[in-house]
Structure 1
C-alpha cells in the first residue's frame, strides 16, 4: 500500500481526475434538469393548444347552428309575409250552414210592465176582493263580511217607491248561514245609534236611495 504525500505529482493527478469526474456528473444533472423542464413546457404548450383548438371548434360548431337557425327563421318570415289568408262568411256545422250576414245585437233587459200585471191580477180568486200588489227592488253594496242593502218598495201602479229602507246584513259567525241585520236608515233618515259598534251615520253613505233623475 502506497500513501502519497500532499503535493506529490500522483495526488495532483488524482485530484484533477476527481474534479473532472465531478464536473462531468454536474453537467449530466444539469442536462437532465433542462430536458425535464423542456418536456414540461412542451407538454403545457401542447395541452394549451389542444384546449384552444377545442374551444375554437366548439364555438364554430355552435355558430354554424345559430346561423342556420337564423336563416330558417328568415326564410319562414319571408314565406309568411307573402301568404294571404282568405275567409268566408259561412261556418259549416255538419250538414247545416250558419251564415254570418248581420251581427247579433243583444236586446237590453227591460223592466216588466207592472201596471199591466196589476190590472191582470187586481181581483182575487172570487172576483170581488181587491188584491194589492207590491214589489221591492234591492240594491246591495259589499261591506266587511256582509252587505249594505237598500230596498225600494213599490206599489204595483207607481213609478216612485212608496218607502225605502237600508240595513246591514252579515253572518253571525264565520261560515254561518244565520244572518244578523242592523237597521241603518228609513226613507233617508238615519236610525238612532244603538249599542252596536257600527257607525250608522258612516254606513248610511253606502245606502243607494232612489233617484228619479236616473230612472
Structure 2
C-alpha cells in the first residue's frame, strides 16, 4: 500500500531512485563477471606460459646432454688417434697368398697318393702293407650353411669307394655355436625323407657334386 498518490513528484522520485539502484547493482554484477572471466583467462595464459617454458627447458637440457656426449666422443676419438700400437713380427704376402716358412706346399688338386703312402713306412712292421685313405670334399653355399659332398678314396684308387652328401647349417646351443649335419644322399641315391625334417632331401640332392672322371 502506497501512501503517495500515483504521479506525484515524490512517487516519481522514488521510482527513479529504485531504477538507479537496480542499474548500479547490474553494473556491479557485470563487473564481477568480467573480473572472473579476466582472472580465468589470465590463469589459463599463465599455465600455458609455464608449460611452454618447461618444454623449452627440457629441449635445452636434451641438447646440452647431446652436446656433452658429442664432446666426449670427440675426446675419445682424439685420444685413440694419438695412441700408437707396436707389435713385433713380419707377415709377407706374395701374390695375395699368405705363406709360412717351413710349411709344406699346398697340393694343387688331388693329393699325391704315392707320396702320402710312402710317409710312415719306416714305422710300420716289416712286410706290412700300408694304405692311406683320404676324403675329398666339395662344398656349395646354401642359405646360412653349405651343401657338402664327400668322396672317400681308398689308397690310390682312381675313383672313390663311397660318396655321401649332407647339408650343414649353424646351430646355437647356449653361448656356443655348432653345426647341424643332415645326410641327404649316399652314392648318388637320395635317402628317404624323414618326417619333420627341416630340409627337402630331393631339393638338396640337386646341389650335390658326385664324382665324374670326365671332370677330373
Q: TM-score range by the shorter chain?
A: 0.5 to 0.7
User: How far did residue 139 of structure 1 move?
Assistant: 3.9
- 1:58 aligns to what SS in structure 2? helix
CA distance in 2: counterparts of 1:115 and 1:60, whole angstroms: 79
Task: Give the structure with higher Rg (CA).
Answer: 1
- Asked whether the 8 Å contact 1:147–1:168 carries over to 2, the reply is yes
Aligned length in residues: 145
- Asked whether the 8 Å contact 2:164–2:185 carries over to 1, the reply is yes
Q: Residue deviations 1:148-199, cap 9 Å, x none?
A: 62xxxxxxxxxxxxxxxxx52524x627xxxxxxxxxxxxxxxxxxxxxx9x
- Asked whether the 8 Å contact 1:5–1:11 carries over to 2, the reply is yes
Q: Does 1:112 align with 2:132?
A: no
Q: Which runs of 5+ in 2 are unaligned?
A: 91-98, 122-126, 130-154, 168-182, 196-201
- 1:147 aligns to what SS in structure 2? strand
User: How far did residue 5 of structure 1 move?
Assistant: 3.1
CA distance in 2: counterparts of 1:51 and 1:104, whole angstroms: 77
Tell me the TM-score normalised to structure 2 length. Answer: 0.52
- Asked whether the 8 Å contact 2:165–2:185 carries over to 1, the reply is yes
- Asked whether the 8 Å contact 2:185–2:191 carries over to 1, the reply is yes
C-alpha root-mean-square deviation of aligned residues, in Å? Answer: 3.9
One of 193, 200, 212 as aligned partner of 1:209: 212
User: How far did residue 134 of structure 1 move?
Assistant: 9.2
- Give the corresponding residue for 1:168: 189
- Asked whether the 8 Å contact 2:113–2:156 carries over to 1, the reply is no
